[in-house]
Amino acid sequence: EAQVTQNPRYLITVTGKKLTVTCSQNMNHEYMSWYRQDPGLGLRQIYYSMNVEVTDKGDVPEGYKVSRKEKRNFPLILESPSPNQTSLYFCASSPLAGYNEQFFGPGTRLTVL
Amino acid sequence: AQKVTQAQTEISVVEKEDVTLDCVYETRDTTYYLFWYKQPPSGELVFLIRRNSFDEQNEISGRYSWNFQKSTSSFNFTITASQVVDSAVYFCALSESYNTDKLIFGTGTRLQVFP
């Protein structure tokens, strides 16, 4: 089944404790992206990647890192999480670029205490 | 700068009513793409439609229809004869041709359809 998977689905952590949210797609898509969803703000793009080893900042990249060492994986790294990073995170992939339909993962609900 | 505005935060209707969700966008680009996504209570995001700026024809898919008007920079979404299963948050989004890697979302409209 074609899908985007994210792990973990739920995570509660404490300020400053490094964490990684994994994202994997099995559709051989070139483009992958991370978004955060907050009430009243909709979805905002954090980082995106056009291909392996090619990543770029979205609108809200502060406090996040990403890597794209393999085409299928696009992990989101929070080196030192803070409470303002409490949010619902979505990973998405697309065949070529953002102007194509994006396929979203199920979301990761992160709480930073 | 590009921007997507969904002024309706929440809409409530009774089943079988028609409902229109508004989307107004801002862009300086002449080539761009508009999208609608649905987020049901289960939380996943589901693609509904993509429209490019050169195609102003309205689209109909079953009970769903979209009205794209460049003159008013709007891309409105109408559900005819709404059903309870239509209850969801609906997002409008914009991607510009000079930077197709970025997708700008509106803040979403929560639609509640009551039986």
The DSSP result for B44-84, as a single string, is: --EEEEEEETT----EEETTEEEEEEGGGTEEEEEESS--G
Q: Is residue B79 within 8 Å of residue B18, measured between CB atoms? A: yes
> Mean of the pLDDT values across residues B64-92?
96
For residue B105, pLDDT over 70 is answered with yes
Q: Do A106 and B95 touch (CB under 8 A)?
A: no
Of B37, B43, B103, the CB nearest to A107: B43
> Mean of the pLDDT values across residues A43-69?
94
State whether residue A56 sits within 8 Å of chain B by CB. Answer: yes
For residue A110, pLDDT over 80 is answered with yes
Of A43-57, B50-64, B96-110, least confident by mean pLDDT is: B96-110
> Mean of the pLDDT values across residues A42-58?
92
Angstrom CA distances, B55 to A14, A39, B1, B12, B96, stand at: 49, 32, 22, 31, 15
- Quick one: pLDDT at residue A98? 64
Q: Is residue A96 within 8 Å of residue A82, measured between CB atoms? A: no
- Quick one: pLDDT at residue B98? 67
- Quick one: pLDDT at residue B57? 84
Q: Do B103 and A102 touch (CB under 8 A)?
A: yes
CA end-to-end distance (rounded Å), chain B: 41
* Distance from C-alpha of A20 to C-alpha of A73, rounded to nearest angstrom: 12
Q: Which residues of B touch A88 (CB under 8 A)?
A: 43
Nearest to A74 by CA among A9, A14, A21, A2: A21
Confidence of residue B110 (pLDDT cuts 50, 70, 90): very high
Q: Is residue B52 within 8 Å of residue B68, measured between CB atoms? A: no
Q: Which residue has the tokens 């590009």?
A: B2
Q: Is residue A94 within 8 Å of residue A103, measured between CB atoms? A: yes
Q: Do A102 and B105 touch (CB under 8 A)?
A: no
**For A66-94, what is each residue's pLDDT tens digit?**
999 999 999 999 999 999 999 999 999 99
* Distance from C-alpha of A93 to C-alpha of A61, rounded to nearest angstrom: 18
* Distance from C-alpha of B27 to C-alpha of B33, rounded to nearest angstrom: 11
Nearest to B36 by CA among B115, B102, B108, B112: B108
Q: Do B45 and A50 touch (CB under 8 A)?
A: no
For residue B11, pLDDT over 90 is answered with yes
